[in-house]
Structure 1
Amino acid sequence: MSSENERPGGGAEGAPPEQLALIRESVRQAKTPRARPRTWRGAPLAKDLPVARVLVDKGVLHLDRYFDYAVPEELDADAQPGVRVRVRFGAGAHHVREGRREGGGLRDGYIVERLAESDYQGPLAALAQVLSPEPVLDPELLAFARAVADRYAGSLADVLQLAIPPRHAKAEAGQLPPAPPPPPAPHPGPWQRYERGPRLLQALAAGHAPRAVWTALPGPEWAGEIALAVQATLASGRGALVVAPTGRSAARVDAALTEVLGEGQHALLTADAGQERRYRQWLAVRRGSVRAVVGTRAAMFAPVRNLGLVVIWDDGDSSHSDDNAPFPHVREVLELRASGDKCGFLLGSWGCTVEAAQLVRSEWAVPVTADREHTRRLAPLVRTVGDTDLARDEAARAARLPSLAWQVAREGLRHGPVLVQVPRRGYVPRLACAQCRAPARCRNCVGPLEARGGSEALVCAWCGQGCADWHCPECGGFRLRAQVVGARRTAEELGRAFPAVPVRTSGREHVLDTVPGTPALVVSTPGAEPVAEGGYAAALLLDGWALLGRPDLRAGEEALRRWITASALVRPQEAGGTVVIVAEATLRPVQALVRWDPVGHAVRELAERAELGFPPVSRMAAVCGPPEALTEFLGAVELPRDAEVLGPVPLQVTPAGRARRPGGPPPGEQWDRALVRVPPGSGAALASALKHARAARTARGGTESVLVRIDPPDIG
């Protein structure tokens, strides 16, 4: 028996059910006279502008639009644009672009605007509650968040969850002082070491909007140099925003700003501050009490008034890429903000990413660098130890330290601390057969085996089961060797090699911020290196092949960035600072470290990417999901004509019990991934096509998720 939607009818014979539903809705609305809402369940509505257009905090793409609600008279005064409200939404509410009927669960939202009437002709559901009269969503932030959502094929609600911190009622109480008067324009100071440095500060102080990619000189002065750029911007009567990758680096900029501007002249926005303090600081920025902000990733959305400068430090750090949908990256977000607000842009780092080189190549930004003589004078001496040297070196077999590294460490310990960078934390994270080098795997779940603590017991890193009688299934061998020795195991070996020297470790469990300038061995994983008072006397960069051997397009770039970050903490060559890297000297990233030429390395990498059509020369999206769902999605999406689909290929299965990487398969489930590539100029069309395809799939009731990530940080 045919349903009503299946019957052919006048003028719509053969039309699909969705089209018939739209036709009937259009006819119904045409027969219904437009009416201005007056009451809600007998209660009077607001006399002026009785309709509130609300953005409901529900990050699903097919509902990524505004919904109209009636404003009761009792909420009229507080229900202003930008405030947080609660509305009925969901099952029983039957929202299309309006709220109607009682029913549905209560959800948070933001009032976008107040209207005299709605384009929906039926009765509107009323606002349930005004959570706070504090307006937190102004038109500028709304437009910026919409631009970010479109850039990353995401929903506006998801972006606002990242942009606006959770409310804390206590933090909203009380008045804040007015913004302080602008400080005087600073003297260039350390910026004189760079060719375009003084002109950059002069342009900021004069109210201009320069865009620069700054390659910082080795040493701790980078935070003070950022503070001077912020002071120059404030001197022009504008605001400034600085985003650092970690709380430790943000704290260094915070201290430098306090030294330059004084107490209470800027806000620090980090997750470590706690919900109340962070929200109070954010409110101070929105209300205009402070005009300078420094913080970590979420601070990229800080509502700084009259923004004159945005700064990002160390854009290659993975912390700048958000792990929550729609996965924005601080660098691209601040580029959007600089273009939209017509403000200055400063990207700084000791190294140089391929994206930074692309900004200079496209003439969107200008380079700010020091001359080679000044760079060589401040950089440490870099020496290399290759595989052939290790094969002939008995000391390397005994203590995992080549003779050269041993000598440099011993000499450095006479004058101060020595930094030892190990690619991985832990004891012995990965083991392999000593004879054939096949990875040691668990019999139960095929997970990697590892030795925990000082015992010889083998334990699976995935399921936790022990393996007492392991033997290699490839060659039958019983001996194991460490593929990469972890930081704690390295610290134990160095402690035995230098028994009279204290050994400190810095890693994920316990990260040191600073260490004294007295002799000590500091074993650290990449990114956790503490700052030594007066700088390190020497640094040893171990297991360089482990970073270079990653199956990733960015392996060389990331290895160089980590090495330069550690080496920049070492004293200059003229003060005896020496770095020893255990890697082949002929490799391009190693040569770039020896010459201290990160810009040249990035330029060559960019040229190769251009030949191969890889980002950032092209725009790319990663689409992941179960095989059948991914195939269905790719068949339905209307990609731009110049789009190229690479794959799909299987993703590595995440074992049960392990957390899923952002954009990766759930534990125990097989997913495929396809890469979609478009040339420059088609990125917006690609994002729009993927967003509409995901919205249509969700609206049709697709049960299996398909994740989309625009410009994924790695495609290896």
Structure 2
Amino acid sequence: MTDPSPPPDPAEEQLALLPAPARVREVVRRTKPPQERTPDPVAEVDPVARVLVDVPLAHLDRPFDYAVPAPLAASAQPGVRVKVRFAGQDVDGFVLERAATTTHTGRLQPLRRVVSAEPVLLPEVAALTGDVAARYAGTRSDVLRLAVPARHASVEKEPPREAAPVPDAPEPRAWSAYAGGADLVAGLAAAESPRAVWTVLPGDDGAALLADAAVATAASGRGALVCVPDRRDLDRLDAALTARLGAGGHVVLAADAGPAKRYRAFLAVSRGAVPIVVGTRAAAFAPVRDLGLVAIWDDGDDLHDEPRAPYPHAREVLLLRAQATGCAAVLASHARSVEAEYLLRTGWAREVAAPRETVRERIAVDVAGADPLAESRDPGARTRLPSQALRLLREAVADGPVLVQAPRVGYATRLVCERCFTSATCTVCRGPLRQRGPGRPLECAWCATAAPGWRCEECGHAGLRAPVLGDARTAEEIGRALPGVAVRQSSSGERVLDQVSSAPAVVVATPGAEPPAEGGYAAVLLLDTWLLLGRADLRATEEAVRRWANAAALVRPASEGGRVMAVGDPAHPGLQALVRWDPGGLARREIDERHSAHLPPASRVATLTGTAADLEQGLAALELPPGAEVLGPVPVPPPRDSTADVDQERYVLRVPRSGGAALSRALQDLQARRSTRKLPHLRVEVDPAELG
């Protein structure tokens, strides 16, 4: 039996289908030996470039060596953007350094091209990206996306900005109310590097005082970097610096500035033309030359948390910079975070605060609410607006504007059965029902499905009540209680007032949206304090006091008649701290409680999130440091807009604080091994803001 004929060659079949002239050309092309391209000669000096490629794979998170062609020798300097060949593709990268030798044993691939000769990644910032990636168990590629904005070619071609003149040191008179305040500013002007946790008095303009600190640092010939939570704080700080330095003495870095404007400001900083940078969390990596001061306003605000991997906090980024460069550091706020108090406890920073006598002159806080004796005399003391609160509103509004803080946005944000108190939920998606205004129909807060004719699934009753009311309903109630008085609203995410006049009015605002008043508020009323304190979160009390303090700080000095009232339980430690205006005491209490429970900052924690199978596989391969604890798993609800039907779980990993760096390294190694084996990515968060 003869062997079967070999199968036809597909390439030959395709060749036979070509027209005769094309077939001849193709045969010639195939038989002609390929011409070897002569590579460009390499640079004579430092012919090796160490490049950090933009590849978000954990096992490739390291520099790679490339040859520097002679034509690119002048432009391929440290910090510039380049294109390189990596895994068969052209990818972006940054030159970290030039070297004379390499440890690579084979032939080095040459740099494809220099995208721009502009050095946008300064050595200090390059080192910082590595520190942040190590701290948060992430990759440098992810951190670089946060640190270096996208290139805008036309902006690079603009004439360089003229260097700002060195300003004169400011007079620290405004800081004299604080013990050690004047010395802090004087030390910055003398090129010293003090580190301070500063509790700002109610009524003081924190933006103006931070501007003094930045100008004092610039007067010493060094740079200053200040981060604030949001655009309103940024506008105030921008105005304060403009008043001191004029236009051009500083730059603003914010993610919402637009690509061209942001890149223009970034280049002014990286080129050393401007020494002072202010911005939101996007500015924490700003390439400030000769950095002398890093400062942050209200570090407890969750807007300082980066929502993108590796989820760094602006405070921690600035502290890493201060530790690496030896520059000054200032954490300023009306309240005090537990992390700031921990810096004082360890001696890393010192406290700057006003004496108790000055505090008593500035602020006076009362609590109305759950007092059994008051309730026996006044049946209205248990209501949401007790008689003491209404009396305060009526009396204070005659002297000027009054601020009312309502914790929730909307009208009736949560509804329950009037008879059995069962939550009213949607029949389609089981989301909570709400009412967006008086006379408006019931609808689901998740899917917006209308719910006409609703009846309780438990008892069949059709009546509803609202245990949680929003700012719109609060404004409506106050308007009925105070006829003839103007009532205005300022709500986060909807309509935020920038400022209000000194005319009599009631301003109902949600936390974070409180507008300052000209001359200060005659009174501040804090409603529904139980709602902020009732959050199932490790930071519930700390966050509640922070929000109350920021609102109360807008009141006039107590010596001028300004009053603050909170409606709640006067025995709660959070309200006691507010009455005494002692945020440091509350932070110390929180640290002691967390230390006994082995919670941050006494320990370092990380969360690991994924499917049950991936987590089981990942934990089996995770090499935890000594003393580590694994807590969980707990189910993680999927996002409401997610279409995935795979359930996820979360583990909490806890180690003593001294083992924090080892835990981050172990998590980085785990992600690298999984990346090498092409296993699904696990979500890792180190020291997350919330553990719930």
Aligned partner of residue 363 in structure 1, secondary structure: coil
**1:85-120 deviation per Cα after TM superposition (whole angstroms, max 9, x unaligned):** 22343xxx2xxxxxxxxx32x332112223455444
Q: Is the 8 A contact 1:383 1:578 kept in 2?
A: no
Q: 1:42 aligns with which of 32, 38, 47?
A: 38
- State how 1:252-291 maps to structure 2 within 5 Å: 252-291=236-275
**1:427-450 deviation per Cα after TM superposition (whole angstroms, max 9, x unaligned):** 222212223333222222221111
Partner of 1:67: 64
After the TM superposition, which of the residue ranges 143-152 and 436-445 deviates more from structure 2?
436-445
Letter in 1 for 2:60: L
Letter in 2 for 1:384: A
Give how far 1:196 is off: 1.0
After the TM superposition, which of the residue ranges 450-459 and 270-279 deviates more from structure 2?
450-459
The yes-or-no answer on 1:521 pairing with 2:498 is: no
Partner Cα separation in structure 2 for residue 434 and residue 372 of structure 1: 48
Q: 2:522 aligns with which of 512, 518, 537?
A: 537
Return the TM-score normalized by structure 2: 0.90
Partner of 1:701: 678
Partner Cα separation in structure 1 for residue 502 and residue 440 of structure 2: 36
Q: Is the 8 A contact 2:538 2:690 kept in 1?
A: yes
- State how 1:642-657 maps to structure 2 within 5 Å: 642-655=627-640, 657=641
Partner Cα separation in structure 2 for residue 470 and residue 462 of structure 1: 17
The yes-or-no answer on 1:169 pairing with 2:146 is: no
The yes-or-no answer on 1:482 pairing with 2:458 is: no
Partner of 2:618: 633
Q: 1:120 to 1:582 in 2, by over 3 A?
A: same
- State how 1:312-323 maps to structure 2 within 5 Å: 312-323=296-307
The yes-or-no answer on 1:134 pairing with 2:118 is: yes
**1:413-437 deviation per Cα after TM superposition (whole angstroms, max 9, x unaligned):** 1111111111111222221222333
Partner Cα separation in structure 1 for residue 78 and residue 206 of structure 2: 41
The yes-or-no answer on 1:426 pairing with 2:410 is: yes
Larger Rg: 2
The yes-or-no answer on 1:250 pairing with 2:234 is: yes
Partner Cα separation in structure 1 for residue 624 and residue 547 of structure 2: 37
Give how far 1:153 is off: 0.5
Letter in 1 for 2:541: G
Partner of 1:86: 83
Q: Is the 8 A contact 2:624 2:663 kept in 1?
A: yes
Aligned partner of residue 658 in structure 2, secondary structure: coil
Q: 1:410 to 1:266 in 2, by over 3 A?
A: same
Q: Is the 8 A contact 1:448 1:462 kept in 2?
A: yes
Aligned partner of residue 272 in structure 1, secondary structure: helix
Return the TM-score normalized by structure 1: 0.87
Give how far 1:527 is off: 0.7
Letter in 1 for 2:570: A
**1:446-493 deviation per Cα after TM superposition (whole angstroms, max 9, x unaligned):** 211111233352212222222223333344433222232112222233
Q: Is the 8 A contact 1:654 1:669 kept in 2?
A: no
Q: Is the 8 A contact 2:225 2:278 kept in 1?
A: yes
Q: Percent identity?
A: 52
Letter in 2 for 1:466: A
Give how far 1:402 is off: 2.0
- State how 1:329-340 maps to structure 2 within 5 Å: 329-340=313-324
After the TM superposition, which of the residue ranges 180-189 and 310-319 deviates more from structure 2?
180-189
The yes-or-no answer on 1:149 pairing with 2:133 is: yes
Q: 1:681 aligns with which of 658, 661, 685?
A: 658
Q: 1:269 to 1:391 in 2, by over 3 A?
A: farther
The yes-or-no answer on 1:615 pairing with 2:611 is: no
Q: Is the 8 A contact 1:553 1:714 kept in 2?
A: yes
Q: Is the 8 A contact 1:45 1:70 kept in 2?
A: no
**1:97-149 deviation per Cα after TM superposition (whole angstroms, max 9, x unaligned):** xxxxxx32x33211222345544444544433322110111221111111111
Partner Cα separation in structure 2 for residue 200 and residue 436 of structure 1: 59
Give how far 1:669 is off: 4.5
Partner Cα separation in structure 2 for residue 358 and residue 384 of structure 1: 32
Q: Is the 8 A contact 1:491 1:503 kept in 2?
A: yes
The yes-or-no answer on 1:572 pairing with 2:557 is: yes
**1:556-588 deviation per Cα after TM superposition (whole angstroms, max 9, x unaligned):** 111011001000001122222122212111101
Partner Cα separation in structure 1 for residue 112 and residue 379 of structure 2: 76
Partner Cα separation in structure 1 for residue 440 and residue 599 of structure 2: 45
**1:353-407 deviation per Cα after TM superposition (whole angstroms, max 9, x unaligned):** 1111111111111111111110010114433223866798676899x52222111
Partner Cα separation in structure 2 for residue 613 and residue 397 of structure 1: 37
The yes-or-no answer on 1:302 pairing with 2:286 is: yes
Q: 1:406 to 1:558 in 2, by over 3 A?
A: same
Q: Is the 8 A contact 1:425 1:525 kept in 2?
A: yes
Aligned partner of residue 539 in structure 1, secondary structure: strand
The yes-or-no answer on 1:228 pairing with 2:212 is: yes
Q: Is the 8 A contact 2:250 2:277 kept in 1?
A: yes
**1:285-332 deviation per Cα after TM superposition (whole angstroms, max 9, x unaligned):** 111111111111011111111111111110110011111111111111
Give how far 1:533 is off: 0.7
Partner of 1:215: 199
**1:260-300 deviation per Cα after TM superposition (whole angstroms, max 9, x unaligned):** 23321111112232221111111111111111111110111
Partner of 1:6: none
Partner Cα separation in structure 2 for residue 84 and residue 110 of structure 1: 5
Partner Cα separation in structure 2 for residue 669 and residue 550 of structure 1: 28
Give how far 1:40 is off: 8.5
Aligned partner of residue 514 in structure 1, secondary structure: coil
After the TM superposition, which of the residue ranges 630-639 and 48-57 deviates more from structure 2?
48-57
**1:656-682 deviation per Cα after TM superposition (whole angstroms, max 9, x unaligned):** x26xxxxxxx86543211111111211
Q: 1:402 to 1:411 in 2, by over 3 A?
A: same
Q: Is the 8 A contact 1:501 1:519 kept in 2?
A: yes
Partner of 1:551: 536
Runs of 5+ unmatched residues, structure 2:
1-34
Letter in 1 for 2:562: G
Q: 1:108 to 1:453 in 2, by over 3 A?
A: farther
Partner Cα separation in structure 2 for residue 70 and residue 282 of structure 1: 29
Q: 1:580 to 1:450 in 2, by over 3 A?
A: same
RMSD value over aligned CA atoms?
2.2
Letter in 2 for 1:588: P
Q: Is the 8 A contact 1:52 1:111 kept in 2?
A: yes
Partner Cα separation in structure 1 for residue 540 and residue 458 of structure 2: 29
Q: 1:713 aligns with which of 674, 678, 689?
A: 689
Partner Cα separation in structure 2 for residue 224 and residue 456 of structure 1: 45
The yes-or-no answer on 1:457 pairing with 2:453 is: no
